[in-house]
C-alpha cells in the first residue's frame, strides 16, 4: 500500500479506477439482474413525464429509478450509462468507507484498504448490476461515517453530539430509504453510534436523547414525506401508499421456508468465504489498535444481516448489504495476516492480499460469462430480441412482455401495455403483491391487443398455469410468430398481431 496520505478527490479517483478495472465485465451484457431493467423502464417513463407507480409499478421506493433517470439524462439512454452509474456509486461508497474508518480512529492506510476491499468485492453476488444495494450504499456508509465521528468524539473526548450534527446523518439515511426500505436497520445503527453510544458514555441525559431521537426521525422521514406530498398533489397518494407499504406486506407472505433459506444463506456465505476468513483472522488475533474497529465492523455486519433477512426471500443481491462492513473486517484481517506472515514488509503483503481478494471475487462471476460468450464473442440474446422486436413492430408500439426482461422495451423503444411490467408479478408467483387481481389485469392487457407478445419458453415453468393458458389462447387466435431467438434455456418468441401485416 502506498505511504502517500491520499485524501478526498484522490481517494475517490483511486476507488473509481479500481471499480472500473474490477467491473469492466458489467459493460458487456444487457442483463445481469432483471430488476435493473425494471428500474430502467421506470426511469425512461419518468423522463417522459410518467411517474413511477402510476406508469410503471413496483414495490420499491422510486430512488433507484430516480438515480438511473439522472444517469440516462446526463450520459444518454443506454445500458452503459446505468452501469457507469453503478461504478460511480461503488467508488463513492469505497471513499465513504475510507472516511468512516478514519473517523473511527483507524490509520489512513487501513482506511484505504477497507474502501478498496469493498470495491473489489462488488463484482460478486450479481453486484455488477446497478441494483438497489449498490445505489443506497453511498448514502448508508456516508451516514455511518458522520455517526462514527460523533461516536469517537464521545468516547475519546467525552464530547456530546448536537442536534445539528444529526442533519447529514438523517438526510443521508432518508435518501437511502427512498431507494429501499431495508435501510431502516442501518439507519437505527447510525443513531445508536451517534447518540446512544454517547448516552452510554454518560455525556448525554435521556431527555436530550429523546429530543434527538425525534429530530432524527423527522430528518430520516423528510425525503419520503416530500415524495408523499408530491404524490398527494398529483392525486396519487393512495397509489404510493399501496406500493411502498401494503405491497411489501403482501410480499412478505411469500417468504422462503426456514430450511430452504438456510441452504441459500449458507451458499451465499460460502461465496464470501475469502473476506469472511480474513474477518475471522482479525477477530481471533486482534491488534490492540483494531479492537474498536472490530466491534464496529461486527456490529454493523449483524445489523446489515437484518436487512438481508427481513424480506424473507434471500435473492443474491440482498447479500450485497454485507459488503461494506465485510470490507472493513477484511481490511483488518489483511493487515493482521500481513503482520503475521511478512512483518518486515507489511504494506506489500496487504497489497497482495487485496489483489487475491479481487481475483477471488472476480472469478465468481467472470469465468461463466467468458465461457458463455454473450456480448463478447457471441451475440447477446437480449439485444437480439430487442433488434428483432424493432423489425417486427414500429417503435412506440404497445408490447406485452409475458416473462422476459423488461429492459427489452427500453432497448427497442417500445411502450408498456400495463403498469405491472415486471413479469414475475403479473404472470408469475408474486402475483399476490399486486394491488389488482392479476388474472383480470392480464385479461385486460390481452384484450387490448398489444402489437406484440414476447414469450421466453425456457422459463414458462415459473409462471402460473392459468396465465400461460390465457396467453396461448390469445396468440393462437390473433398472432403469428415473427421471430424466435435462442436463449440459454430455450427460445424467446416474438408474436406479432396478424392485422399489422408486413
Tell me, yes or no, whether 139 lies in a domain.
no
Supply the mean pLDDT for the chain: 94
Q: 432: pLDDT confidence band, cut at 50, 70 and 90?
A: confident
73: left (phi over 0), alpha (psi -120 to 50) or beta: alpha
How far is it, in rounded angstroms, from Cα 294 to Cα 281? 11
398-401 and 452-456 strand pairing:
parallel
How far is it, in rounded angstroms, from Cα 125 to Cα 320? 7
Q: 61: pLDDT confidence band, cut at 50, 70 and 90?
A: very high
Written as nine digits, the cell of 126 is 450479481
Tell me, yes or no, whether 56 lies in a domain.
no
Q: SS3 of 94, please?
A: helix
> Is the four-CA dihedral 43, 46, 47, 48 of positive or negative sign?
positive
How far is it, in rounded angstroms, from Cα 502 to Cα 20? 44
Q: In Å, what is the CA distance from 413 to each residue of 70, 115, 116, 395, 497?
A: 18, 38, 38, 6, 18
For the cut 80, the answer to whether the pLDDT of residue 191 exceeds it is yes
Q: What pLDDT, on a 0 to 100 scale, did the predictor assign at position 230?
A: 96
Give pLDDT tens digits for 128-138: 999 999 999 99
Tell me, yes or no, whether 366 lies in a domain.
no
Domain boundary among 238, 269, 302: 238
β-sheet bridge partners, residue 493: 455, 484
For the cut 60, the answer to whether the pLDDT of residue 3 exceeds it is no
Q: 502: pLDDT confidence band, cut at 50, 70 and 90?
A: low
For the cut 90, the answer to whether the pLDDT of residue 372 exceeds it is no
Percent of the chain topping pLDDT 70: 98
The answer to whether the beta carbons of residues 117 and 164 sit under 8 Å apart is: no
For the cut 90, the answer to whether the pLDDT of residue 226 exceeds it is yes
For the cut 90, the answer to whether the pLDDT of residue 343 exceeds it is no
| Nearest CA-CA partner of 85 in 31, 19, 25 | 19
The answer to whether the beta carbons of residues 168 and 124 sit under 8 Å apart is: no
How far is it, in rounded angstroms, from Cα 112 to Cα 327? 10
Q: What pLDDT, on a 0 to 100 scale, did the predictor assign at position 119?
A: 98
Q: In Å, what is the CA distance from 23 to each residue of 20, 35, 123, 133?
A: 5, 19, 6, 16
Q: Rounded to 5 degrees, what are φ and ψ at 82? A: -70, -40
Query: C-alpha angle with apex 232: 226 to 237, nearest 5 degrees?
Result: 105
What's the average model confidence in pLDDT over 470-487?
A: 95
Tell me, yes or no, whether 256 lies in a domain.
no
Tell me, yes or no, whether 437 lies in a domain.
yes
Tell me, yes or no, whether 325 lies in a domain.
no
Give pLDDT tens digits for 230-265: 999 999 999 999 999 999 888 876 777 888 889 989
Q: In Å, what is the CA distance from 215 to each residue of 25, 187, 325?
A: 43, 13, 27
Number of domains in the chain: 2
Q: In Å, what is the CA distance from 37 to each residue of 42, 46, 83, 181, 261?
A: 9, 14, 11, 20, 26
The answer to whether the beta carbons of residues 497 and 449 sit under 8 Å apart is: yes
Q: What pLDDT, on a 0 to 100 scale, did the predictor assign at position 1?
A: 52
The answer to whether the beta carbons of residues 15 and 115 sit under 8 Å apart is: yes
Tell me, yes or no, whether 117 lies in a domain.
no
How far is it, in rounded angstroms, from Cα 496 to Cα 449? 10
Q: What pLDDT, on a 0 to 100 scale, did the predictor assign at position 250?
A: 85
Give pLDDT tens digits for 290-302: 999 999 999 999 9
List the alpha helices (DSSP H) in 373-494.
Answer: 381-392, 407-411, 423-426, 438-447, 465-478
Return the half-sphere exposure (C-beta side, CA atoms, 13 A cut-off) of residue 335. 24
For the cut 50, the answer to whether the pLDDT of residue 192 exceeds it is yes
How far is it, in rounded angstroms, from Cα 132 to Cα 7? 27
Q: What pLDDT, on a 0 to 100 scale, did the predictor assign at position 397?
A: 96
Q: What pLDDT, on a 0 to 100 scale, did the predictor assign at position 2?
A: 47
- Full 3-state SS string of 134-185: HHHHHHHHHHHHHHHHHHHHHHHHCCCCCHHHHHHHHHHHHHHHCCCCCHHH
- What angle in degrees, to the nearest 10, is found between the helix axes of 79-103 and 323-341? 60
The answer to whether the beta carbons of residues 91 and 12 sit under 8 Å apart is: yes
Give pLDDT tens digits for 91-119: 999 999 999 999 999 999 999 999 999 99
Domain boundary among 238, 262, 289: 238
DSSP helix, strand, coil percent of the chain (3-state; round to 5): 70, 5, 25
For the cut 90, the answer to whether the pLDDT of residue 314 exceeds it is no
pTM of the shown model: 0.94
The answer to whether the beta carbons of residues 5 and 109 sit under 8 Å apart is: no
How far is it, in rounded angstroms, from Cα 483 to Cα 470? 21
Tell me, yes or no, whether 485 lies in a domain.
yes
For the cut 50, the answer to whether the pLDDT of residue 223 exceeds it is yes
Q: 5: pLDDT confidence band, cut at 50, 70 and 90?
A: low
Q: Rounded to 5 degrees, what are φ and ψ at 62? A: -85, 15
Q: Which residues lie closer than 8 Å to 361 by C-beta, 6 or more apart?
A: 22, 120, 121, 122, 123, 124, 274
Q: In Å, what is the CA distance from 211 to each residue of 163, 166, 195, 196?
A: 8, 12, 11, 12
Per-residue burial over 359-379, b if 16 or more Cβ lie within 10 Å, else e, is ebbbebbbeebeeeebbeeee
Domain boundary among 238, 267, 294: 238
Residue range of the domain that includes 217: 144-238
Percent of the chain topping pLDDT 90: 84
Amino acid at each position: 500500500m502506498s505511504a502517500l496520505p491520499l485524501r478526498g478527490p484522490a481517494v475517490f479517483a483511486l476507488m473509481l479506477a479500481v471499480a472500473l478495472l474490477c467491473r469492466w465485465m458489467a459493460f458487456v451484457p444487457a442483463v445481469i439482474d432483471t430488476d435493473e431493467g425494471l428500474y430502467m423502464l421506470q426511469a425512461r417513463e419518468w423522463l417522459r413525464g410518467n411517474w413511477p407507480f402510476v406508469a410503471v409499478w413496483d414495490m420499491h421506493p422510486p430512488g433507484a429509478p430516480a438515480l438511473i433517470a439522472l444517469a440516462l439524462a446526463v450520459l444518454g439512454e443506454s445500458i452503459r450509462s446505468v452501469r457507469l452509474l453503478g461504478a460511480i456509486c461503488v467508488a463513492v461508497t469505497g471513499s465513504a468507507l475510507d472516511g468512516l474508518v478514519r473517523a473511527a480512529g483507524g490509520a489512513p492506510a487501513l482506511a484505504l484498504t477497507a474502501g478498496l476491499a469493498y470495491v473489489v468485492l462488488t463484482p460478486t453476488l450479481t453486484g455488477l448490476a446497478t441494483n438497489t444495494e449498490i445505489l443506497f450504499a453511498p448514502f448508508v456508509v456516508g451516514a455511518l461515517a458522520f455517526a462514527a465521528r460523533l461516536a469517537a468524539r464521545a468516547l475519546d473526548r467525552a464530547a456530546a453530539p448536537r442536534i445539528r450534527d444529526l442533519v447529514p446523518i438523517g438526510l443521508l439515511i432518508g435518501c437511502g430509504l427512498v431507494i429501499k426500505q431495508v435501510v431502516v436497520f442501518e439507519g437505527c445503527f447510525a443513531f445508536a453510534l451517534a447518540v446512544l453510544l454517547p448516552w452510554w458514555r454518560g455525556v448525554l441525559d435521556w431527555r436530550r436523547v429523546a429530543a434527538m431521537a425525534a429530530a432524527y426521525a423527522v430528518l430520516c422521514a423528510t425525503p419520503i414525506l416530500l415524495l408523499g406530498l408530491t404524490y398527494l398533489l398529483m392525486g396519487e397518494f393512495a397509489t404510493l401508499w399501496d406500493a411502498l407499504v401494503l405491497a411489501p406486506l403482501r410480499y412478505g407472505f411469500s417468504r422462503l421456508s426456514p430450511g430452504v433459506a438456510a441452504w441459500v444463506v449458507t451458499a451465499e456465505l460460502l461465496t464470501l468465504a475469502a473476506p469472511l476468513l480474513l474477518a475471522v483472522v482479525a477477530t481471533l488475533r486482534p491488534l490492540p489498535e483494531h479492537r474498536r474497529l472490530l466491534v464496529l465492523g461486527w456490529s454493523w455486519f449483524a445489523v446489515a444481516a437484518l436487512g438481508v433477512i427481513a424480506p424473507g426471500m434471500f435473492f443474491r443481491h440482498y447479500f450485497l448489504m454485507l459488503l461494506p462492513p465485510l470490507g472493513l473486517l477484511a481490511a483488518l484481517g489483511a493487515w493482521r495476516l500481513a503482520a503475521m506472515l511478512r512483518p518486515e514488509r507489511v504494506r506489500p503483503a496487504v497489497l497482495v492480499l487485496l489483489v487475491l481478494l479481487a481475483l477471488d471475487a472476480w472469478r465468481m462471476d467472470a469465468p461463466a460469462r467468458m465461457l458463455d460468450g454473450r456480448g463478447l464473442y457471441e451475440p447477446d440474446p437480449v439485444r437480439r430480441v430487442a433488434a428483432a422486436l424493432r423489425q417486427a413492430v414500429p417503435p412506440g408500439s404497445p408490447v406485452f412482455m409475458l416473462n422476459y426482461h423488461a429492459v427489452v422495451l427500453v432497448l427497442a423503444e417500445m411502450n408498456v401495455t400495463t403498469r405491472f411490467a415486471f413479469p414475475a408479478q403479473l404472470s408469475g408467483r408474486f402475483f399476490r403483491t399486486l394491488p389488482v387481481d392479476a388474472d383480470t389485469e392480464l385479461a385486460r392487457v390481452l384484450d387490448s391487443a398489444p402489437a406484440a407478445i414476447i414469450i421466453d419458453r425456457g422459463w414458462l415453468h415459473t409462471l402460473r398455469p392459468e396465465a400461460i393458458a390465457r396467453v396461448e389462447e390469445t396468440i393462437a387466435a390473433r398472432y403469428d410468430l415473427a421471430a424466435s431467438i435462442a436463449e440459454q434455456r430455450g427460445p424467446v418468441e416474438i408474436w406479432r398481431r396478424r392485422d399489422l401485416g408486413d
